[in-house]
Amino acid sequence: MNKAMHKRDLVREVAGAEHLPASVVERVLNRTIETIESELSHDRRIVLTGFGTFEVRHRSERPGVHPRTGEGITVSATRTPGFTAGSRLRKLVRESNGRADQG
């Protein structure tokens, strides 16, 4: 099982690599996340070339089945956030060949 990197770990990693105070990196990361959320809430895409694209995906109304009763239901149309990896990120993950970071 892969170990997860949490937000605090990411902040520490970037702060150390860039020789910046963790508090500054955390503020920048928080603002970045808030900006992505705001743009998505206005149905706008965020393209980070080489990394990926954040966008709102629209799901149409569709038939479904109630899991307890087995009765047919209609699942309402909805909007959901989505991410598509960019070419550089896809290549990096593909070439890692499933190796876990030993660091």
Per-residue pLDDT of the chain (103 residues; tens, 9 = 90+): 578 999 999 999 999 999 999 999 999 999 999 999 999 999 999 999 999 999 999 999 999 999 999 999 999 999 999 999 999 999 999 998 766 655 4
**Is the same domain home to 90 and 79?**
yes
**Structural domains in the chain (count):** 2
**Is the same domain home to 70 and 83?**
yes
**Is the same domain home to 93 and 57?**
yes
**What is the domain range of residue 51?**
44-103
Entry field: residues in the chain: 103
**Is the same domain home to 31 and 74?**
no
Last residue of a domain, one of 25, 42, 59: 42
**Is the same domain home to 12 and 38?**
yes
Identify the CA nearest to 57 among candidates 75, 80, 78.
80
Residue the block writes with tokens 């955390």 = 26
What dihedral do alpha carbons 47, 15, 18, 85 form, nearest 10°?
Answer: -20
